[in-house]
Amino acid sequence: MVDNDYSSVLEHIYFTFDIEDISVALSRELLEHRIASHTARSTRYNEEDSFGYYIPREIRRDKNALKAFKRAMERANDAYKQLRVLGFKREEARYVLPMALHTRYVVTMNVRSLINFFMLRLCVRAAPEMRELAKKMYKLCLDAYPTIFEHVWCRGVTLGVCPENDTRPVTCPFRDIVFNKNDTKFGVEEAVREIIHKDLRRRK
């Protein structure tokens, strides 16, 4: 089904993921995948004092940056608590909460949409938090349906050609074995255009 792109069949298989302790920033990225059902923990109805938060990898590696980051989280938490003490509702106090705030998120996708999700989010250029989540989701899918997912990874691996072209980082493990899109187009574009033009000129 996957090899021959009979992918409409895959729309009848669904996965639901109950995801804890991801950042609000990441939940916003998940919403970009619109052929899915999304439910997020409400900051309007849940108390967020003493909230947990996500620390980006690069910030964790820098002692001074980490100190500044944690201080910012503490200030946001203090401001939230103060607003609640002053009598403001949760839906009003929540506006001081940071994008790093931990949230709980439930998302349901069919397999066809998941393959597209993995092709985008398993790329080394994806945001680190998103890529780590995608890897965990992928492992669950692979265990459930190995024959479907064993040949699925980033777009370069799945499609056999990488559309990132010159933006591919040196950290890409497939850089030397998967061609760029521009590399494969070079030398064949003229022939392709000629075939298209002939097809357009052909009478019905």
Q: What is the pLDDT of residues 64-109, one digit of tens each?
A: 999 999 999 999 999 999 999 999 999 999 999 999 999 999 999 9
Q: Which residue has the higher pLDDT, 166 or 154?
A: 154
Q: What is the pLDDT of residues 6-40, one digit of tens each?
A: 789 999 999 999 999 999 999 999 999 999 999 99
**What single DSSP character describes residue 150?**
T
Mean pLDDT within 136-147:
97
Q: What are phi and psi of 176, to 5 degrees?
A: -90, -5
121 is catalytic: yes
The pLDDT, as a whole number, for residue 177 is 85
Catalytic residue among 121, 168, 175, 203: 121
Three-class SS state of 194: helix
The pLDDT, as a whole number, for residue 78 is 98
The pLDDT, as a whole number, for residue 204 is 57
**What single DSSP character describes residue 19?**
E
**What single DSSP character describes residue 86?**
T
Q: b or e along 67-85 (b: 16 or more beta carbons within 10 Å of the residue's beta carbon)?
A: eebeeebeebbeebbebbe
∠84-89-94 over CA atoms, to 5°? 80
